[in-house]
Structure 1
Amino acid sequence: MRKTAAMAALAAAAVSFTAPAHAADSEGRLQIKVLGTYVMPDGDLSKVKVDEIGLPADLKTEANDNFVPTVAIEYFLADSISLETICCVTQHDVDVSSGSLEGAELVSDAKIIPATLTVKYHFAPDGAIRPYVGAGPSYFIFIDEKPGKAAVGLGADKFRMNDKFGVALQAGVDIPVGDNGMALTLDAKRYFLKSSAHWFANGEEVISTRHDIDPWLLSAGVAFRF
């Protein structure tokens, strides 16, 4: 139910961006960005809450990086102020990064939808180079997550990560190409959020941990303003 509500809210926000503006902007109010995004999550283990199998005391974890296509939808409320949301799905494993279990896969192919809405300030909206900063809430939705091979070997048959709210900080630059509304764009986002991971065996929770997700999203691509 939470996932459905979050996706409905995101869709409503995206639709609202296309509402008519009170004053026409010569470059248009709506901007669409098509990007390639390198996702670098942390995945560091911050706390073990339940341990029924005897995990090593020095256990550390990390999540792998991924490269994904991304679409950003941006609506300009004014020349220097805009709202932006992004659409992408990224997939990650979580492995043990040190100790006797180093390299062991604990989480397999967890897919994440980083629902995000940022308010952006553009420093030079009419310039040849247009830098911006932004910030706003995020809601990470985890789907189709599975226990990794090592966790299955320890008896786990089900895995779940909790969806979580977080905060995103953003900075980037748009560089117009010609006068047709096209631009090159570079963007960096840093998210701050924690999530809990839960492994189950025969319906009983055997491991519960807390992780710092805190990913960087580094993007490059093209923008089209209408």
Structure 2
Amino acid sequence: MKKLLAGAVAGAAMLASPAQAQDDTGSVQVKLMGTAVLPDGKITSFNTDIVGLPAGTQTEANDNFVPTLAIEYFVTPQVSFETICCVTQHDVDAVSGLPDAELVSNAKLIPATLTAKYHFDAGAAKPYVGVGGAYFLWVADDPGAATLPLGVTDTDLSNELGFVLQAGVDVPLGDRGLWLSLDAKRYFVDTTARWFAGDTLAIETEHKLDPWVLSAGAAWRF
């Protein structure tokens, strides 16, 4: 993945037409992008299991593709702060122990994110790296179909803080403030999943999320 991202940045720099560096201090950039959210979702520990899950039970979360809105403010031509807005939906399925069993359904996540970015001068193209914090807020999560026969009535995924690494490139398209933007983020966030039968905690597991979030789209700089 690192080699792929480096190749994308280098290729965009080669395609960009020569342009004189501009002073972006105080500029605001708005990005509208298509984003692939590629989470992990595997179990890292079992805290409670009164159901008796099969030995070797393991899970994964499905990928999703969503629109993303990003807003960025340039403190200096090299330093900016960026926040994103999107909602992504995922199911959690067993891949061993209970193959293909749906355990969590329609889990909706807001990955609230703020990154500080440093932009390099590569001619017209502007590669960047960033680092920041993230708060994963689950706004909905339903018991999966496979859990209902076990008497599960509610599922809960814990909201968690984490951090994120970022890299990408912005390439100008003409001289009217329109840019092509390619972006990759790697989040490091876990969650605790709980399944309840009435008021009884039946299963509690820790899950590694750590999604790759890969985006491409258009940006407008004002």
Residue 92 in structure 1 maps to residue 120 in structure 2:
no
After superposition, what is the alpha-carbon deviation per residue over 1:162-211, rounded to whole angstroms, capped at 9, x for unaligned? Answer: 10000000000000011111000100000001110000001111000000
Q: CA deviation at 1:28?
A: 5.7
Question: In structure 2, what is the Cα distance between the partners aligned to 1:172 and 1:151?
Answer: 41
Alignment match, 2:107: 110
Q: CA deviation at 1:155?
A: 1.1
SS of equivalent residue, structure 2 residue 147: helix
Residue 128 in structure 1 maps to residue 124 in structure 2:
yes
Q: Which runs of 5+ in 1 are unaligned?
A: 1-23
Alignment match, 1:174: 170
* Equivalent position to 2:116, from 110, 114, 119: 119
After superposition, what is the alpha-carbon deviation per residue over 1:82-119, rounded to whole angstroms, capped at 9, x for unaligned? Answer: 000000000000000123x1000000000000000000
Following TM superposition, where does structure 1 have runs of at least 4 consecutive aligned residues deviating by more than 2 angstroms? 24-28
Q: CA deviation at 1:27?
A: 8.0
Q: CA deviation at 1:25?
A: 4.2
Question: In structure 1, what is the Cα distance between the partners aligned to 2:148 and 2:204?
Answer: 15
Is the Cα–Cα contact under 8 Å of residues 27 and 181 in structure 1 kept in the other structure?
no
Aligned-residue Cα RMSD (Å) equals: 1.4
Q: Percent identity?
A: 56
Amino acid at match of 2:145: K
* Equivalent position to 1:55, from 19, 33, 53: 53
Alignment match, 1:191: 187
Alignment match, 2:215: 219
Change (3 A) 1:183 1:58: same
Change (3 A) 1:117 1:69: same
Is the Cα–Cα contact under 8 Å of residues 162 and 189 in structure 2 kept in the other structure?
yes
Change (3 A) 1:192 1:53: same
Change (3 A) 1:25 1:54: same
* Equivalent position to 1:162, from 158, 165, 174: 158
TM-score when scaled to structure 1?
Answer: 0.86
Change (3 A) 1:139 1:52: same
SS of equivalent residue, structure 2 residue 176: coil
SS of equivalent residue, structure 1 residue 186: strand
TM-score when scaled to structure 2?
Answer: 0.88
SS of equivalent residue, structure 2 residue 51: coil
Question: In structure 1, what is the Cα distance between the partners aligned to 2:51 and 2:27?
Answer: 56
Is the Cα–Cα contact under 8 Å of residues 73 and 84 in structure 1 kept in the other structure?
yes
Change (3 A) 1:26 1:113: closer
SS of equivalent residue, structure 1 residue 153: helix
